[in-house]
């Protein structure tokens, strides 16, 4: 499925997510917390953004990419901060686990093939630990917890929602969103299916995690998976301000060369912001 219009009936939700309240500027960096250890290892450090007003509120667990949650200067990545402010401003709890830092790995892991937290193992456990933690809070709507991820975090989303159904009575994700995930493993293995509604957003020009495997994945599960592709857009197209450039020395790329383009695509970014708002609004009821 390609680029197509947002349903008009969700326009109000789009407007909510499309702007960030200036009064919440002090919370831009998020509040540090610790989530009890799941099956994947140590207690999980995370950043939390709280919505305004009395709860309970829906929640979004948001998973960073291979570059980690923080930039080279130790600040929360601009893309993550931007999305967290938008989502919390629209009434969601936002929890961003630090999968790498919680295991003692500092900085980007994009050039490291042997990572301390893998999308197919440890990071699934991180997502589930965050889910169980949020589901036990009185100020969170247990039935409205969403999973969101970018790149390596998006690959984790595919793994987390593609597993067998959870035990009866256990909390589960209401729906999920994956920005430019690596779909190759699931597409080649075959038999993958999502147990929840899943929105996948990816650039057609992405040469880091190509769109074609995601297209095959979505075609195999059309009832659950909605794929939106953006012509001419590269990896990280939703970043608020990243000049398109080439990154070299990457551990995993679609071409196998270790080089890929990354950078903002304003039109794709705008559509993605609107589309995520609409998708979440449609499922939070």
Q: Give the C-alpha distances (Å, rounded to integers) separating 273 from 19, 124, 176.
A: 10, 25, 15
pLDDT value of residue 149: 98
Give CA 186 to chain center in angstroms.
18
pLDDT value of residue 32: 94
Query: Minimal CA–CA distance to 61: which of 118, 155, 144, 121?
Result: 144
pLDDT value of residue 26: 34
- Within 8 A by CB and 6+ apart from 77, the residues are 64, 67, 68, 69, 70, 71
pLDDT value of residue 40: 59
Instruction: Report DSSP letters for 83-143, one per residue.
Output: HHHHHHHTT-EEEEE-TTGGGT--S--TT-SS-SS-TTTHHHHHHHHHHHHHHT-TTEEEE
Query: Minimal CA–CA distance to 64: which of 155, 143, 136, 125?
Result: 155
pLDDT value of residue 157: 98
Measure the CA angle with vertex 33, ends 175 and 182; round to 5°.
Answer: 40
pLDDT value of residue 3: 52
CATH class of 8-283: alpha beta
Residue 135 tokens, joined:
């589901």
pLDDT value of residue 72: 85
Instruction: Return per-residue pLDDT of the chain as tens, 285 residues.
Output: 455 444 443 333 333 344 333 334 334 569 999 998 766 578 999 999 999 998 899 999 999 999 999 998 889 999 999 999 999 999 999 999 999 999 999 889 999 888 889 988 899 999 999 999 999 999 999 999 999 999 999 999 999 999 777 888 899 999 999 999 999 999 998 899 999 999 999 999 999 999 999 999 999 999 999 999 999 999 999 999 999 999 999 999 998 999 999 999 999 999 999 999 999 999 997
pLDDT value of residue 9: 33
**Residue ranges of domains in the chain:** 8-283
């Amino acid at each position: 499925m390609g680029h197509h219009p947002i349903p008009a009936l969700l326009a109000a939700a789009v407007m909510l997510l499309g702007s960030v309240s200036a009064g919440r500027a002090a919370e831009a960096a998020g509040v540090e917390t610790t989530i009890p250890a799941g099956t994947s290892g140590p207690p999980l450090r995370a950043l939390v953004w709280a919505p305004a007003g009395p709860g309970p509120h829906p929640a979004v667990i948001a998973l960073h990419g291979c570059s980690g949650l923080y930039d080279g200067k130790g600040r929360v990545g601009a893309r993550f901060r931007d999305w967290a402010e938008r989502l919390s401003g629209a009434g969601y709890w936002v929890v961003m686990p630090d999968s790498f830092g919680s295991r003692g790995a500092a900085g980007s892991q994009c050039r490291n093939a042997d990572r301390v937290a893998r999308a197919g193992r440890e990071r699934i456990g991180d997502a589930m630990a965050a889910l169980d933690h949020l589901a036990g809070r009185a100020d969170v709507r247990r039935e409205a917890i969403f999973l969101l991820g970018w790149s390596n975090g998006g690959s984790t989303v595919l793994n987390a929602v593609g597993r067998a159904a959870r035990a009866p009575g256990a909390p589960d994700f209401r729906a999920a969103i994956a920005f430019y995930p690596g779909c190759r493993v699931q597409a080649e293995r075959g038999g993958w299916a999502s147990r929840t509604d899943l929105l996948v957003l990816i650039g057609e020009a992405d040469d880091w995690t190509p769109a074609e495997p995601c297209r095959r994945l979505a075609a195999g599960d059309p009832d659950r998976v909605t794929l939106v592709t953006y012509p001419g857009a590269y990896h990280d197209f939703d970043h608020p301000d990243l000049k398109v450039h080439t990154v070299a020395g990457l551990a995993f790329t679609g071409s196998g060369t270790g080089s890929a383009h990354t950078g903002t695509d304003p039109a794709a970014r705008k559509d993605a912001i609107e589309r995520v708002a609409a998708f979440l609004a449609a499922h939070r009821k």
